[in-house]
Structure 1
Amino acid sequence: MNIVVLLKQVPDMDKVKFDSEKGVVDRKSAGTEINPFDLNALEAAVQISENTEAKVTVISMGPPAAEEALREGIARGAHEGILLSDRNFGGADTKATSKTLAAAIKKIGDYDLVIAGEKTVDGDTGQVGPEMAEFLNIPHLSYVSNIKDINKEHMVAKCDIWSGSYLKDAKLPALITVTKDINDPRLPSFKSKMNAKKAEIKVWGMEDLKEHLAIEDTGFKGSPTKVKKIEVPPSVKREGKVWRDDLAGAFDEIVNVLKDKKVLEV
């Protein structure tokens, strides 16, 4: 069995700043880390590998510095890393990103399962995984919190959507996106970190993917979504009142507030 895991290097969202004029995240304003949900995806793949001897390949799309994320992925249990890096890929929205990642998986060819985090903390759309599945023309399960069973032919997984839980069966090859409830990612050992430093990271550009990808479908030019403006909303403070003597008046005011908010019918 061959499993492909998507990893994205994202800025530290507690420290990153936003360029409101350009409508973009200022990625140079903070350090980077692997998207937390992608660590859950990788841990899920490694656990399957430990039980089935599956090969785990991590893929990331980004600048050359994203090799660091792939090496950490190898330190955490992946067997191989592939970086998609090309100036043509820059400025991609979810559609262009999905098409480029799907083209890389088509180039790999022999795969049984693709695992991604449910979303990235810098985009928060949750669209790339399902869009990739559509471009690959394979089944997909979203918001997977538990993999109940998996073999070469199919898998059974628990999907948590809104307030409901669903047990779903999918034929392989398939793609799943996982939530943080699926596992607790383990930390890499010192030995595995040292070994990962020596690992060869394959780098694929537009020329490597041209059999499966048109240049007009990549990067900014292949992105129908354009961010025109970013606004950081002001923090909202709770308002409160204290009644000590006039409890009847307090009750009347609470009822009026609930009516104004349409919680109670007038």
Structure 2
Amino acid sequence: MKILVCVKQVPDTNEVKIDPVKGTLIREGVPSILNPDDANALEAALKIKDEIKGTEVSVITMGPPQAEEMLRECMAMGADSAYLLSDRAFGGADTCATSTTLAAGIRKVGDVDIIFAGRQAIDGDTAQVGPQTAQRLDLPVVTYVQDVKLQEGKCIVERQLEDGYEVLEVEMPCVLTCVKELNDPRYMTVSGILDAYAKEIVIWNHKDLELDSQDCGLSASPTQVFRSFTPPQKGKGEIFKGNISEIANKLVNKLSQEHLI
């Protein structure tokens, strides 16, 4: 069995700040991490590898050269190989252009039984790349996966809903996007780290993927972000003290003064 996991290197959102003048993200000095949902997707693939002998797990990403560090982290966790789609032509891509590039990379890898991906990336929160990639590959897709089992060439999947879950059966090859409730990602091991840095990462540009430079990156992105900003801080909350009746009266009077009731 051959499994491919789509991963992404993202800025740690706990450290991200926005330039108040330019309205853009300040990336200098911000650490990059493996996207959390993608770590759950990788763990799902590695669990299958642990259970089914002969399973090969690969990871693939689109990003700048420094994304190699994240890919080696994935191999240190247990992935067998890694593919980096890196080219200036890929820069400025929205989800549409990103899925075009990823789909081309997956076709070049070839003969994949399951493609795992995280539900969404924390730097965009669109949850669109996984389904769009599946569409470009003409593969069935199940999103918000919180459990998966294999059975005779099919995946039996629990799909998370707001008020429960649904059980779906999907034939392989397929695309599954995972939520954090699926599992707890494993840690890297010392031996895994040593092995990861002994392996070669395959790097492909747009020519390797047989893509025209106009069909990827900013030039192929219909979505454009005009401005990012931090919402202004709200004032401090007001605490009412007293018994329940007194607090209720104070709250009603306050809401009336603000013309909210």
Q: TM-score, normalised by structure 1?
A: 0.89
Taking the aligned partners of 2:135 and 2:65, their CA distance within structure 1 comes to 28
Alpha carbons of structure 1 residues 28 and 256: separation in structure 2 relative to 1, 3 Å = closer
Taking the aligned partners of 2:40 and 2:230, their CA distance within structure 1 comes to 28
Structure-1 residue corresponding to 2:120: 119
Structure-2 residue corresponding to 1:65: 66
Taking the aligned partners of 1:261 and 1:218, their CA distance within structure 2 comes to 52
**What pairs with 1:111-190 in structure 2 (closer than 5 Å)?**
111-147=112-148, 149-151=149-151, 153-190=153-190
Alpha carbons of structure 1 residues 245 and 153: separation in structure 2 relative to 1, 3 Å = closer
Taking the aligned partners of 1:101 and 1:56, their CA distance within structure 2 comes to 17
Alpha carbons of structure 1 residues 230 and 194: separation in structure 2 relative to 1, 3 Å = same
Paired AA for residue 31 in structure 1: P
Paired AA for residue 199 in structure 2: A
Q: TM-score, normalised by structure 2?
A: 0.91
Alpha carbons of structure 1 residues 24 and 135: separation in structure 2 relative to 1, 3 Å = farther
Whether contact under 8 Å (1:144, 1:176) holds in the other structure is: yes
Structure 1: gaps spanning 5 or more residues:
none
Paired AA for residue 242 in structure 1: F
Alpha carbons of structure 1 residues 247 and 208: separation in structure 2 relative to 1, 3 Å = same
Taking the aligned partners of 1:257 and 1:163, their CA distance within structure 2 comes to 33
Tell me, what secondary structure is at the counterpart of 2:117? strand
Tell me, what secondary structure is at the counterpart of 2:107? helix
**Which deviates more, 249-258 or 224-233?**
249-258
> What does the per-residue CA deviation read over 1:34-71, in whole Å, with 9 as the maximum and x for residues that have no partner?
11111111010000111123111100111111111111
**Which deviates more, 5-14 or 195-204?**
5-14
Structure-2 residue corresponding to 1:216: 214
**Which deviates more, 29-38 or 16-25?**
16-25
Paired AA for residue 82 in structure 2: G
**What pairs with 1:31-46 in structure 2 (closer than 5 Å)?**
31-46=31-46
Structure-1 residue corresponding to 2:192: 192
Taking the aligned partners of 1:249 and 1:201, their CA distance within structure 2 comes to 64
Per-residue deviation, 1:257: 4.8
Per-residue deviation, 1:256: 9.0
Q: How much is the aligned-residue C-alpha RMSD, in angstroms?
A: 2.4
What is the aligned-residue identity percentage? 39
Alpha carbons of structure 1 residues 216 and 39: separation in structure 2 relative to 1, 3 Å = same
Structure 2: gaps spanning 5 or more residues:
none
Whether contact under 8 Å (1:93, 1:223) holds in the other structure is: yes
Whether contact under 8 Å (2:7, 2:61) holds in the other structure is: yes
Check if 1:227 corresponds to 2:228.
no
Structure-1 residue corresponding to 2:240: 242
Taking the aligned partners of 1:22 and 1:88, their CA distance within structure 2 comes to 24
Structure-2 residue corresponding to 1:206: 206
Paired AA for residue 8 in structure 2: K
Taking the aligned partners of 1:261 and 1:167, their CA distance within structure 2 comes to 48
Taking the aligned partners of 2:244 and 2:177, their CA distance within structure 1 comes to 54
Whether contact under 8 Å (1:152, 1:172) holds in the other structure is: no
Per-residue deviation, 1:74: 0.7
Paired AA for residue 222 in structure 1: A
